[in-house]
């Protein structure tokens, strides 16, 4: 039997139409790989699952729709086996009657919702209280939930761990007034990570370290500096000013700056 390495409806409308007409199964895509087991993944339309009895009740509530009480396990098993048999016979030879693999004591067929994916707005945050500074960071799925059909989840997960390790190193080595620079670099790499694929990393994997330069083709791109301002919180009122980049002014420039400040305050008043 030939594998089906990811087939979407828009690329073979006839196949998906025939599957619906003969089996009553509506799919958006299907994947079939074989190794120790026959592995099928398919994206099914909700209406099709309701008509085939997989879902006992149709509801718009995501939590109750796929609740175990609302899923007929036997109907789900039949649905998956019909789709598997039809797809393999369409492209090569039909899948012979084969028992389902088992997982955790039951047949390994499941249904889950991935219509919503989540990612953190930020990769890190720094908090300071009572003179102690705490660095917080997210890694893995808590940072960016992967879209598994793309096959990028585990790769981006490891890259995120290495990026976080680099942030920790920078945080420990840099003086306190550079905390904004550490945050800025981490958020910049997180922005880059969202777009990273296997073709957008350096190929000499044995040379990789936690240093991002060894892994990403480029880390130089425009980044909105305002995004990091709210990622440092403290219980002292003057920390933000003291950690901001310092600029040395000549005496004349200082006088001009004071004049501009007074003028600005006057207008604000």
pLDDT tens digits, 105-144: 889 999 988 777 788 999 999 999 998 999 999 999 899 9
Residue with more model confidence, 52 or 154: 52
CA distances from 72 to 25, 61, 112 (A): 16, 18, 13
| Alpha helices, H only, the chain | 13-23, 46-51, 62-65, 73-91, 153-173, 179-193, 239-243, 251-268
Residue 254 sits at φ, ψ, to 5 deg, of -65, -40
The answer for residues whose C-beta is within 8 angstroms of residue 138's C-beta and 6 or more apart is 120, 123, 124, 164
CA distances from 178 to 237, 240, 243 (A): 18, 11, 7
Question: Sorting pLDDT into bands at 50, 70 and 90, what band is 149?
Answer: low
CB 193 within 8 A of CB 183: no
How much is the pTM?
0.62
The answer for residues whose C-beta is within 8 angstroms of residue 87's C-beta and 6 or more apart is 4, 15, 19, 30, 32, 40
The answer for residues whose C-beta is within 8 angstroms of residue 230's C-beta and 6 or more apart is none
Query: How far is CA 141 from its chain centroid?
Result: 6
Identify the pLDDT of residue 177: 74
Asked whether the CA dihedral 189, 193, 199, 201 is positive or negative, the reply is: positive
Tell me how far apart the alpha carbons of residues 90 and 212 are, in angstroms, rounded to a whole number: 46
Identify the pLDDT of residue 175: 76
pLDDT at 245 over 80: no
Read off the pLDDT of residues 170-210 as tens digits, 9 standing for 90 and up.
999 987 778 889 999 999 999 999 888 888 899 899 999 99
Percent of the chain scored above 70 by pLDDT? 84
Residue with more model confidence, 150 or 242: 150
How long a stretch of residues is the chain? Answer: 269
pLDDT at 256 over 50: no
Read off the pLDDT of residues 34-86 as tens digits, 9 standing for 90 and up.
888 899 999 999 999 999 999 999 998 888 999 999 999 999 999 999 999 99
Longest dimension (CA), the chain: 88
- Mean pLDDT of all residues in the chain? 83
Tell me how far apart the alpha carbons of residues 110 and 63 are, in angstroms, rounded to a whole number: 16
């Amino acid at each position: 039997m030939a594998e089906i390495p990811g087939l979407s409806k828009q690329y073979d409308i006839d196949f998906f139409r025939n599957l619906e007409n003969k089996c009553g199964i509506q799919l958006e895509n299907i994947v079939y790989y074989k190794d120790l087991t026959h592995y099928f993944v398919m994206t099914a339309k909700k209406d099709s699952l309701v008509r085939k009895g997989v879902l006992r009740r149709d509801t718009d509530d995501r939590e109750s729709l796929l609740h175990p009480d609302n899923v007929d396990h036997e109907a789900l098993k039949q649905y998956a086996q019909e789709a598997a048999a039809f797809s393999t016979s369409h492209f090569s030879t039909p899948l012979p009657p084969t028992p389902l693999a088992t997982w955790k004591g039951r047949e390994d067929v499941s249904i889950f919702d991935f219509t919503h994916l989540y990612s953190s707005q930020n990769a890190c945050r720094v908090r300071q209280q009572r003179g102690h500074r705490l660095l917080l960071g997210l890694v893995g799925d808590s940072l960016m939930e992967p879209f598994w059909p793309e096959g990028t989840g585990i790769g981006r997960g490891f890259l995120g761990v290495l990026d976080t390790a680099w942030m920790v190193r920078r945080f420990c080595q840099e003086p306190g007034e550079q905390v904004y620079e550490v945050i800025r670099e981490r958020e910049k790499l997180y922005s880059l990570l969202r777009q990273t694929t296997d073709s957008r990393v350096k190929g000499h994997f044995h040379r990789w370290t936690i240093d991002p330069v060894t892994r990403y083709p480029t880390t130089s791109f425009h980044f909105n500096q305002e995004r990091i301002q709210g990622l440092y919180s403290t219980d002292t009122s003057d920390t933000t000013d003291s950690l901001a980049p310092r600029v040395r002014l000549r005496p004349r420039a200082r006088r001009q700056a004071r004049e501009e400040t007074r003028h600005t305050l006057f207008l604000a008043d």
